């Protein structure tokens, strides 16, 4: 019953996209998370091993894997090198076609594949699509 009521609320708002824009599902999730936390702290809700039946943990035998900063530097170098090496015209054309396809509402699979083949980076592809679609900004409500 509760589910049907929630679905009706979403329908009345004009569907899930409109509801999301209004922050409805986000605030419902935040509400239930907050209620859960309060029950959890009063131990009315039990998480075994976290707020009940806890035990002194034995020393971890698995080491945390720390990634050396050098890995980032190496990747940046590889990327800079790729940017110099790739065919500039093919790269620019592929992103241009991607933007046009997005603006025209066409299927993006082929232009995306072509951009990848022209060594456009994921960031460049995303930024091209952002020019057309914009990006989602959450309301920051809690």
Partner 1 sequence: VSQKNTESRSRIRVLIAKPGLDGHDRGAKVIARALRDAGFEVIYTGVHQTSEMIVSAAVQEDVHVVGMSVLSGAHNAIVPEVIEGVKKAGLKDALFLVGGIIPEEDFPQLKKVGVHMIFTPGASIEDIISTIEKNAPTRT
Alpha helices in the chain (DSSP H): 2-13, 16-21, 24-41, 69-85, 88-103, 109-117, 122-133
Among 7, 17, 29, 116, binds partner 1 (CB under 8 A): 29
43 vs 117 by CB, closer to partner 1: 43
Output the six-digit token pair for 135: 């990006």
Q: Which two tokens stand for residue 115?
A: 């951009």
Minimum separation from the CB atom of position 129 to partner 1 (A): 16
40-69 positions binding partner 1, by CB under 8 A: 41, 50-51, 64, 66
User: What 3-state DSSP class applies to 22?
Assistant: coil
70 makes contact with partner 1 (CB under 8 A) = no
- Considering the complex, state which of residue 52 and residue 117 has its C-beta at the smaller distance from partner 1: 52
Write the CB contacts of 101 (distance below 8 Å, at least 6 apart in sequence): 107, 108, 110, 111
Among 7, 16, 33, 79, binds partner 1 (CB under 8 A): 33
CB 133 within 8 A of CB 102: yes
37 binds partner 1 (CB under 8 A): yes
R_g of the chain, CA atoms, integer Å: 24
Among 16, 34, 110, 126, binds partner 1 (CB under 8 A): 34
Q: Which spans of this chain sit near partner 1 (rule: CB under 8 A)?
A: 29-30, 33-34, 37, 41, 50-51, 64, 66, 137-142
């Amino acid at each position: 019953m509760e589910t049907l009521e929630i679905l009706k609320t979403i329908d009345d708002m004009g569907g899930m996209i409109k509801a999301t824009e209004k922050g409805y599902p986000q605030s419902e999730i935040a509400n239930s998370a907050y209620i859960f936390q309060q029950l959890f702290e009063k131990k009315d809700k039990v998480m075994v091993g976290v707020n009940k039946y806890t035990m002194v943990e034995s020393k971890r035998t698995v080491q945390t894997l720390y990634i050396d900063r050098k890995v980032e530097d190496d990747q940046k170098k590889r990327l800079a090198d790729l940017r110099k090496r790739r065919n500039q015209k093919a790269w620019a054309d592929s992103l241009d076609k991607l933007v046009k396809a997005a603006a025209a509402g066409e299927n993006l699979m082929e232009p995306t594949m072509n951009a990848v083949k022209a060594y456009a980076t994921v960031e460049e592809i995303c930024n091209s699509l952002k020019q057309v679609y914009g990006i989602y900004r959450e309301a920051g409500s809690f």
